[in-house]
A = this chain, B = another copy of it.
Amino acid sequence: MNVSFFGELLQSISDRGRALLDRTRERRVEPAARSESIIDLCEHLLSGRGEASGVALAREILTHYGELTTGPRIAFFEALALRFGPDHARLNTAIEAWRAAPTDETAAEVHVAAEPRRQELFRRLNLAPNGTAALVRMREQLLGVLDRRNDLSAVDADFVHLFSSWFNRGFLVLRRIDWATPAVILEKIIRYEAVHRIRGWDDLRRRIDPRDRRCYAFFHPALVDEPLIFVEVALTQKIPDAIGPILAVQRDTVEVATTATFYSISNCQPGLAGVSFGNFLLKQVIEEICKEMPSLATFVTLSPVPNFAGWLKRERAVEGSRVLTEEDKAALQNLDLDGWWQTPKTRDPVREPLLRAAAYYFLHARNTRNRPADSVARFHLGNGARLEQMNWLADGSQRGIEQSHGLMVNYLYELDAIEKNHEAYAEQRAIVASNTVKKLLRATPREVAIVGK
């Protein structure tokens, strides 16, 4: 199929983007030289007068914004919150009309009147070349101050609303990342990897170039050179139970794989937090890999358990815990010893109570919103995966020890069961887990020793 014509469309976007970058480097207007404030410019842009120069105006605002220092930037966010909210008078009028005649027409006017003016502002700022990228960065900076400025959360909600529409999965493009990918993308893969750090170009190459490794990323036409999210995949011969062999510098290439293991998923754009594409990513990657290698039968993750150590610490402090016996607590005291996992003497007693506690953690621990306590579990279970296997001392890195005492788990994506699992999770808060995991909960120590690994 000769589809390169369409392929060049995006190239045009890209050129445009780069041209802008160059231009902005070169032409620097002195901020002081501007007669209008950025707020005035925003009002001007919204006024609709001067629509003919909307693009230029949007570009000027974004350039101006890019030069703001922290203080003025927060002031700008405040202005977005206070001055670009909904038009109260118009809203009241619309509500009166609705109350007089509650029809879809009057509701429509209520809807429009209640829309914060900044939504239209953002849409118009998006007219500027590279506008989308600039808005994503703007939100990233907003998120940076959101903790201590609750009053700005409405602004954030408007960003999320627009981004959810613009970054609709229908507009995302999946691309394989390999050794023939441009360096400008690859360096971002190195930088954005959030789970198992990539230590330079040689390490990167080991993850994307061998025949039993894959990497895929989602891109958006308006975000030039920027992956949104990516996943690293190892083709293996069985469900892996530790991360070390996957990341090893020296290892044999797998010739005939049966299993695709997703061992790292990283979001790249903090400014797009809350706009989820992870679930689409995994499903589309599974489709891609299946097409290439129809023999693959198993799709599984090798995932961290980021909230386990914190939970266990709290649980150990609970008097009369329903989860841990006094015996368990005693055994788990070894966890407080430096390097406890390095010698059988301190390690072995921990194993059984820890795995049993982990089974409880996954099957019963809940956060305040009655969801699983583990954030990674929430992601994969919400996607319709099943908790398949728990792996004792699967991640001996400092981080692995700190956040989960070395525990890692596998979530299984069984294509035929995804929908059912997802519904059970979404509607009944059911935790779908393998029998192996479930049994663990009430297993005797001896049984744990068998099933745990």
Which residues on A are within 8 Å of B, measured CB to CB?
Answer: 1-15, 18, 22, 25, 48-53, 55, 81, 85-86, 88, 91-92, 95, 98-99, 102, 104-105, 107-108, 110-111, 114-116, 123, 126-129, 131-132, 154, 157, 162, 164-166, 168-171, 173-176, 178-186, 200-201, 205, 211, 219, 221-222, 224-225, 279-280, 283, 383-384, 418-419, 421-423, 426-427
Given contacts A7-B8, A52-B383, A81-B104, contact A1 B13 (CB under 8 A): no
Q: Which residues from chain B contact A99 at a C-beta distance below 8 Å?
A: 95
CB distance from A428 to the nearest CB of B (A): 11
- The interface residues of chain B lying within 8 Å CB-to-CB of A13 are 6, 173
Q: Which of B11, B171, B201, B421 contacts A201 (CB 8 A)?
A: B201
Report copies per complex: 4
Please, which residues of chain B bring their CB within 8 A of the CB of A384?
A: 52
Residues of B within 8 A of A128 (CB): 170
Contact (A423, B2) CB under 8 Å given A116-B104, A123-B168, A169-B55: no
Q: How far is the CA of A92 from the CA of B98 in the complex (A)?
A: 9
A-B contact pairs, 10 of them (CB 8 A): A1-B15, A5-B182, A6-B14, A6-B219, A6-B224, A9-B175, A85-B107, A179-B183, A180-B182, A182-B182
Secondary structure of the A contact surface, majority rule: helix
User: Cβ of A105 and Cβ of B170 under 8 Å apart?
Assistant: no
Q: Which residues of B contact A173 (CB under 8 A)?
A: 9-10, 12-13, 221
Contact between chains at B116 and A114 (CB < 8 Å): no
> Chain B contacts of A170 at CB under 8 A?
126-129, 131-132, 222
- List chain B residues, Cβ under 8 A from A175: 2, 5, 8-9, 12
Q: How far is the CA of A422 from the CA of B48 in the complex (A)?
A: 11
- Complex alpha-carbon distance, A383 and B123, angstroms: 19
- The distance in angstroms between the C-alpha atoms of A173 and B162, with both chains bound, is 20
Q: Report the bound CA distance from A14 to B116 in whole Å.
A: 36
A343-B173 Cα distance, complex, nearest whole Å: 61
Q: Are B49 and A426 in contact (CB under 8 A)?
A: yes
* Nearest-Cβ distance from residue A215 to partner chain B, whole angstroms: 11
The smallest beta-carbon distance between A412 and chain B, in angstroms, is 14
Contacts of A10 in B (CB 8 A): 6-10, 173, 221
In whole Å, how far is A137's beta carbon from the nearest beta carbon of chain B? 14
Contact indicator B81/A107 (Cβ below 8 Å): no
